[in-house]
Amino acid sequence: MRSQLFLILFAAIGLMGGTTLPAAAAPARITITSSPPGATVYVDGKERGAQGITSELFKVRLTPGGHRLLLELPGYQPLEQTVQIGRRAHRLSFTLERALARLSVRTPAASGDARDAELFIDGEPKGKVPGDVDLKEGSHLVEVRKAGFKIYTETVELRPAEVKTLMVTLIAEIRRGTLLILATGEGLVYVDGQARGTAPQGVELDAGEHAIEVRKSDSGEVLWQQRVTALAGQQVRVQADFKVADKTGTLLVVAPENAEVTVDGTQRANANQIITGLKAGQHAILVQAKGYLSVTKVIEIEQGKQRVEQVQLEKTAAGRGVAMVRVVMVNPVEGAEYFVNGRRVKEADLLGEKGMEIPAGENVVVVQQQGFGKVTRTVHVAAGGTEMVRVDLKSGGRLAVTSTPAGGQILLDGLPVGMTRASSDDVVPGPHVVEVRLDGYRLFSQQVNVQAGTVTSVQADLQPAAPPPPPPAEVSGTLVGVAPPRLMRLEMSTSLSAVTNDPGRFTVDVGGGYPYFVNAGIAVGAARRGSLGLDIGAELRSNFYVTEVGVRLRAQLFRGGPIAGGLNLFLGGGGGPDDRSDFIMELGVPITLLAGRVVQLTARPYLQLYSDRSCPTAANASSSNVTRGEACTQALDAVAMGGQDSSGALDRATSARVMLQAALEISLTRHLNLFLLIEGAPGLRRRSLTRQYNLLLLQEVDYGIYGRGGVTFKF
């Protein structure tokens, strides 16, 4: 009966237990922490992405069973571990280890002495050089050992995960040699001032130069001395030949290696060498060397003793790479400021008789004083040289001009100084006339009195120009109600004179003449400062057989009253059929006479350099079907018949000639000029400008007289 009850109870418990087991276990809540915190957590592979960052608050749900955890934190080694997760929540803690650093030991490209040397880290062998070693953070002692070289040691500091490269260069051990010192008599041997016993004497020394002496007794008279070089691993024989010293002494002058010593004006020797045979008593020595100041001294020589004289030589200015600059004030100004290369200097230093020391080469000297303006001088001084700078600091004022509306041309005493607004420094004190000109507005003119050290401001409020007067009425052939004619204000921009265009304004020339039947050019104002100006332009000219294109530069150097002068330059070249080509350079000096603002007359002598190929070469003649000109044809026929070109027609003609040019320019309207030009070099002919080498329109002989005319459009 009891056994039956027991079986029934067991079956009931089994049945109850079976009904409570779930089909799948529920995920458990897991808290993951790390030391230090902040590690990134991956579960069952990184491909599923990061689950979070370790901390007291980080929790993740994991199903019961085995899971693979990966923790990563910069500066620490990754930690990967498989854990078993139950059905209940629990906490997992991990400790991360610092990441290892890497030390890379290498040899420089210029020295491979350390290659294959033994490498030791903290006393433990780590292979050979070159090599890489993984180490913990902190300090480590690095040793490199190789036979025949000194041991290399260095302490390196490594941070976690740091990769550091250490370049190692080994120093060879000092090698030694032997000196065998023999003597013709008795004496004590001294090597580098140390007693080594009596001769003969064998002495082992470091390889290199040594001072050998044989003395009569300890610290006594020197019987013989010499500097000898000991060779590593070898024995050098030294023979000391001496006799009883007379009443003389020796002298050793210690000075720069290239110094020369002169004793009593007659005996010469190099510095740092022993001078023998000097009689006891006083002697005058002169020590001199290139790049140094000479030094003269009187020394005392004792019998049987050596005098060692230390001489310090001071480098010359040239040896030190410096020079001197001195400023001379034409009109001394009290309180003036002085600057050299932007650094303020004392007046006494720069104006003193000696001047002040500056680096050799280019230097900038500035002298300024309020009310007197500023003077800047750039000086070029060679090492050891002296430059004197004369400064005339004149008292001046400052003039500031603005206009409304903007865009007007501003003139000071008839000379342009800028557009829209202008500021002029160092204006001479006294009365001046300021003008502002702008198309469509009346001329603004005001007289101002500029005072030294002050700023004079002028505001030009421009007024619109009055409308043109109505056309006059004609009665019985006469004009009635006609106001006196008002002269048109003409704009005298030109292209042939020495006067350049204002910045931004330009001219266009169109014309023709002989020997260039078509001529066109353009010139643009590039810069202007006071009476100085610069134009940049281009020009095309052609006689229909040869066409040339070039660049033209024009510089205005001065303008005073009705006269202006400057320089101009043309660089160009061109070509035509049958391999024709040329190159031309023209450098001229234009002088212009201005008759008001209507007429300008210019005389320009200029040097013309040209190089012309007027005929094809014999090699290219067969491929050309263009008319060659009479001279070319005759020369090519002669070559084709097996002869030679005795005329030289096939050769390139290169020559130079001085040309004289006269040009007349008349301003017809505000935007149009008429120009006429004649030029020439009689007797200096250019063969390419004849019909023998060119078109039949040209003359048979180049008489060297040319001309052209045309119009200039002004913008």
Confidence of residue 492 (pLDDT cuts 50, 70, 90): low
Residue 365, sorted as left (phi over 0), alpha (psi -120 to 50) or beta, turns out to be beta
Q: Which of 62, 95, 128 represents a domain boundary (last residue)? A: 95
pLDDT tens across 687-699, in order? Answer: 888 888 876 778 8
pLDDT tens across 566-578, in order? Answer: 999 999 999 887 7
Residue 469 placed within a domain = no
Residue 419 has pLDDT above 80, yes or no: no
CATH code of the domain in which 441 resides = 2.60.40.10
pLDDT tens across 332-372, in order? Answer: 888 888 999 888 988 888 888 888 888 888 999 998 877 67
Residue 189 placed within a domain = no
**89 and 106 together in one domain:** no
Residue 203 placed within a domain = no
Distance from C-alpha of 127 to C-alpha of 116, rounded to nearest angstrom: 9
User: Which neighbouring-strand residues pair with 674?
Assistant: 666, 711
Token pair listed for 662: 């006269």
Distance from C-alpha of 516 to C-alpha of 540, rounded to nearest angstrom: 10
Handedness of CA 582, 583, 587, 593 (dihedral sign): positive
Confidence of residue 478 (pLDDT cuts 50, 70, 90): very low
| Per-residue confidence (pLDDT) for residue 628, from 0 to 100 | 58
The residue written with tokens 């230097």 in the block is 363
Contact 617, 648 (CB under 8 A): no
| Per-residue confidence (pLDDT) for residue 387, from 0 to 100 | 87
The residue written with tokens 């903007």 in the block is 406
Distance from C-alpha of 247 to C-alpha of 512, rounded to nearest angstrom: 102
> How many residues appear in the chain?
715
Q: With CA atoms as reference, report the closest residue to 439 among 419, 421, 465, 415.
A: 465
Grouping H, G, I as helix, E, B as strand and the rest as coil, residue 14 is helix
End-to-end CA distance of the chain: 135
User: Is this structure's pTM higher than 0.75?
Assistant: no
**69 and 139 together in one domain:** no
Residue 200 placed within a domain = no
Token pair listed for 368: 């300024």
3-state helix, strand, coil in the chain (%, to 5): 5, 55, 40
Residue 414 placed within a domain = yes
| Per-residue confidence (pLDDT) for residue 605, from 0 to 100 | 96
Q: Provide, rounded to the nearest whole percent, the portion of the chain with pLDDT above 90.
A: 22
| Per-residue confidence (pLDDT) for residue 40, from 0 to 100 | 92
Strand ordering across the sheet containing 131-135: 131-135, 101-106, 163-167
Distance from C-alpha of 502 to C-alpha of 527, rounded to nearest angstrom: 7
Residues 567-580 as b or e (16 or more Cβ within 10 Å = b):
ebebebebebebbb
| Per-residue confidence (pLDDT) for residue 320, from 0 to 100 | 81
Residues 528-564 as b or e (16 or more Cβ within 10 Å = b):
beebebbbbbebbbbbebbebebebbbbbeebeeeeb
**Range with the largest mean pLDDT of 121-135, 233-247, 643-657, 688-702:** 121-135
Q: Name residue 206's amino acid.
A: D
pLDDT tens across 649-684, in order? Answer: 888 889 999 999 999 999 888 889 999 999 998 778
Residue 615 has pLDDT above 90, yes or no: no
**Range with the largest mean pLDDT of 388-397, 654-663, 699-708:** 654-663
Q: With CA atoms as reference, report the closest residue to 322 among 390, 386, 365.
A: 386
| Per-residue confidence (pLDDT) for residue 449, from 0 to 100 | 87
Mean pLDDT for 478-503 is 61
Mean pLDDT for 620-644 is 69
**Angle CA 192–196–202, to nearest 5:** 100
The beta strands (E) that lie in 343-462 are given as: 343-345, 356-359, 361-369, 373-381, 386-391, 397-404, 409-412, 415-419, 421-427, 430-437, 444-450, 455-461
Confidence of residue 557 (pLDDT cuts 50, 70, 90): very high
Grouping H, G, I as helix, E, B as strand and the rest as coil, residue 232 is coil
| Per-residue confidence (pLDDT) for residue 679, from 0 to 100 | 94
Residue 41 has pLDDT above 80, yes or no: yes
**698 and 557 together in one domain:** yes
**422 and 539 together in one domain:** no
| Per-residue confidence (pLDDT) for residue 246, from 0 to 100 | 60
Grouping H, G, I as helix, E, B as strand and the rest as coil, residue 165 is strand
**529 and 674 together in one domain:** yes
CB-based contacts of 239, cutoff 8 Å, min separation 6: 182, 183, 184
Distance from C-alpha of 222 to C-alpha of 243, rounded to nearest angstrom: 11
In the chain, the number of structural domains is: 5
Q: Which of 391, 419, 436 represents a domain boundary (last residue)? A: 391
Contact 547, 518 (CB under 8 A): no
Look at 35-44, 165-174, 392-401 and tell me which has the smallest mean pLDDT. Answer: 392-401
Q: With CA atoms as reference, report the closest residue to 387 among 443, 473, 328, 334.
A: 328
**520 and 544 together in one domain:** yes
Q: Report which of residues 407 and 379 the model is more confident about.
A: 379
376 lies in which domain range? Answer: 322-391
Residue 535 has pLDDT above 50, yes or no: yes
**621 and 658 together in one domain:** yes
| Per-residue confidence (pLDDT) for residue 322, from 0 to 100 | 86
Residue 259 placed within a domain = no
**378 and 412 together in one domain:** no
| Per-residue confidence (pLDDT) for residue 74, from 0 to 100 | 85
Distance from C-alpha of 585 to C-alpha of 608, rounded to nearest angstrom: 6
User: Which neighbouring-strand residues pair with 503?
Assistant: none
CB-based contacts of 632, cutoff 8 Å, min separation 6: 578, 614, 615, 616, 649, 650, 693
**619 and 709 together in one domain:** yes
Distance from C-alpha of 529 to C-alpha of 214, rounded to nearest angstrom: 82
**55 and 109 together in one domain:** no
Token pair listed for 468: 């043109």
Q: With CA atoms as reference, report the closest residue to 262 among 210, 205, 226, 311.
A: 311
pLDDT tens across 58-113, in order? Answer: 888 888 888 899 999 888 888 898 988 888 888 888 998 888 888 899 988 888 88
CA distances (Å), 565 to each of 498, 589, 590, 663, 699, in order? 5, 7, 6, 14, 35
Residue 470 has pLDDT above 70, yes or no: no
Residue 224, sorted as left (phi over 0), alpha (psi -120 to 50) or beta, turns out to be beta
CA 465 to chain centroid: 53
CATH code of the domain in which 108 resides = 2.60.40.1120
Q: What value does the mean pLDDT of the chain take?
A: 83
| Per-residue confidence (pLDDT) for residue 480, from 0 to 100 | 39
**640 and 709 together in one domain:** yes
Q: With CA atoms as reference, report the closest residue to 236 among 177, 176, 179.
A: 179
Residue 304 placed within a domain = no
Residue 626 has pLDDT above 90, yes or no: no
Mean pLDDT for 376-390 is 86
CATH code of the domain in which 343 resides = 2.60.40
**63 and 142 together in one domain:** no
User: Which neighbouring-strand residues pair with 42?
Assistant: 50, 70
Residue 119 placed within a domain = yes
DSSP class per residue in 16-61: HHHHHS-SSPPPEEEEEEEESS--EEEES-GGG-EEEE-STT-EEE
Q: Which of 391, 422, 442 represents a domain boundary (last residue)? A: 391
